[in-house]
Amino acid sequence: MRTQRRLALAVAVILAALVLASCGGGGEREALEAMIRAATADTGPGSCLKYETLHFLEDNYRREGDAAVRACEESALDLLDEKPRSVDVSHIDIAGDSAAAVLRFEGSLVDGQKMRYEFVKREGKWKFDEIVAFVDLDAPHLILELGRKGLLGAKSPREAENVACWIGRMERMSDRTLEELLLGERDVSGDCTGESNAI
């Protein structure tokens, strides 16, 4: 009986070690989650390369090198660029110096959306590296937020017309096409009205 208990205990210890190893360990998970929460709270210009790789900035701002960093810094100072109030982190998967997780933000342009992100470790610190996909995209809500922000930021009737044109086009898109557009997987002109008039 005692031998069976020892065997059961040994199996339990081994299984626990395997589970921790497959998840990347409690310490790494905590460090990744702490970075995500810090990045959500610290949204000033100095946060751009502190929590995000250059690859992440180039992907998101569709510019290269220093131009992507400057775009991030300008966005951080933009009073119309609403920042997230909080973030829920789930489905963390860590493999060495790479990781993935699903984030759901409260507030900001992506309010309420679930998005899958990839992370990399650089010099011992986790950083955002890529937005992979939306998870259960709420397209109507996202389009509403995009339209609200776009119209508030329009500096001329022409810009407002262009925003309204894009909102109309996005409302007719499939979720997959909309996701490709938003994640930069689809090349389009920024001038919706010009494209529409040319058709």
Span 163-184, pLDDT tens digits? 999 999 999 999 999 999 888 8
Among candidate residues 39, 38, 25, 36, the one with its CA nearest the CA of residue 95? 25
Whole-number pLDDT of residue 199:
30
* Domains by residue range for the chain, with CATH: 25-135 (3.10.450.50), 139-194 (no CATH)
Task: Give the Cα separation of 104 and 138 in Å (integer).
Answer: 12
Contacts of residue 133, Cβ cutoff 8 Å, sequence gap at least 6: 115, 116, 179, 183
pLDDT in tens, 42-100: 989 999 999 999 999 999 998 999 999 999 999 999 877 788 889 999 999 999 999 99
Task: Tell me which of 78 and 1 has the higher pLDDT.
Answer: 78
